[in-house]
Amino acid sequence: MKYIIYFLKLFLDSIRDTSKIVKYFNLIKINGYFVIIKLFIIRFFYAFSFIRNIRKIKISENKELKPSFTSDSLDLNQEIKKIDLKGFSNTYSLKQNYLEKLRTEILDNKKNINIKKDYKIDLFKRDEENQIQYINRLKDNNISRLTGVLNLEDFYDLKKIVLSNEILEIVSNYIGSNTISINSTYFISLPLDTDKYEKYENAQFFHWDNDFTKFLKLYIYLSDVDDLSGPHAYVAGSHKNKKLDHSLTRLYSDKDIYSSYNDIKIFHGKEGSFFFTDSYGIHKGMSPTINYRIMLNIHFGNNKIKYHKDDLIINI
């Protein structure tokens, strides 16, 4: 009986979520009407891990990657295998000059801020402000989270990293496709007291994503992130197997998740740290308590679906 109830809930959730996402992101205008069918198939059929796991990772000859934007060497197969096993990669560091260029590009951005409330202040960083002054102004106006979608064509240094051969090789081998949809978003999270609804809007409850048949995210910290800054948390292995109670794309409490899983990875890191995760696994951004967090989220998917007009679809 519990499986019948689960299938019914999943079917209704898939209809609800497809309708909600299509309307919220205006996806018909961006993608055409066929996106409705695509999304329903993803939301329903690919909620079953065994269906998603049919698509295997690509393993090639041992290959050491040496991106220009980091001093670290990346072992392609080691990273692919680790993401496949755990749901996340090792953590690496940007070179200082790349970090500074990225942060300047993002904070000087003047487009596509996305916020749920109608604030009557200038949400963009002012030319005369430094980073701390900008953060304090947002905090003084009770803005707990600011996000913006980035058009890679407008951000030279970000585009150079995201479309680098090394990043795309990891992505294409993991998602099993040479056609890749790319969404680039930044987040500024601030240490403010928030209610349950605002935490939901800020993705600060455990949840899992189901946006493509296979996908991968690249996170880049543009500020130091420790326990007080709202680090990213991820349930290791949950991209492969979830308990039935957590197999619907809903929100789950800390108590529920911590009592159900033993291996939960918390991603601390200095500014410039970056790592991959398969966000089909259970995860969340923890709520900042003392310090702020600035982060980039680059979402790579293997279907020709755009969630924003500024997303890219490339063939490699």
Question: Rounded distance, CA 52 to CA 46, Å?
Answer: 5
43 C-beta neighbours (distance < 10 Å), count: 21
pLDDT of amino acid 117: 55
> How big is the CA angle at 216 (ends 148 and 71), to the nearest 5 degrees?
85
Q: Which two tokens stand for residue 182?
A: 């790319």
* Residue-range domain boundaries for the chain: 1-45, 61-315
Q: Whole-prediction pTM value?
A: 0.94
pLDDT digits (tens, 9 = 90+) for 40-82: 999 999 999 999 999 889 887 778 899 999 999 999 999 999 9
Question: Rounded distance, CA 265 to CA 263, Å?
Answer: 6
Scan for tokens 């995760």, then name that residue.
Answer: 277
pLDDT of amino acid 201: 62
pLDDT of amino acid 49: 94
Residue 197 has pLDDT above 80, yes or no: no
pLDDT of amino acid 204: 76
Residue 228 has pLDDT above 80, yes or no: yes
User: Which residue type occupies 306?
Assistant: K
Cβ neighbors of 80 (< 8 A, separation 6 or more) are 57, 58, 59, 170, 173, 174
> In whole numbers, what is the pLDDT of the chain averaged over residues?
91
pLDDT of amino acid 316: 87
Residue 203 has pLDDT above 70, yes or no: no
Q: Which CATH class is domain 61-315?
A: mainly beta
pLDDT digits (tens, 9 = 90+) for 155-182: 999 999 999 999 999 999 999 999 999 9
Scan for tokens 């998602």, then name that residue.
Answer: 175
pLDDT of amino acid 121: 67
Q: What is the mean pLDDT of residues 212-238?
A: 97
pLDDT of amino acid 205: 87
Residue 140 has pLDDT above 60, yes or no: yes
Q: What is the mean pLDDT of residues 189-217?
A: 83
pLDDT of amino acid 56: 87
259 C-beta neighbours (distance < 10 Å), count: 9
Residue 9 has pLDDT above 60, yes or no: yes
Q: Which two tokens stand for residue 36?
A: 């409705």
pLDDT digits (tens, 9 = 90+) for 257-297: 999 999 999 999 999 999 999 999 999 999 899 999 999 99
pLDDT of amino acid 118: 57
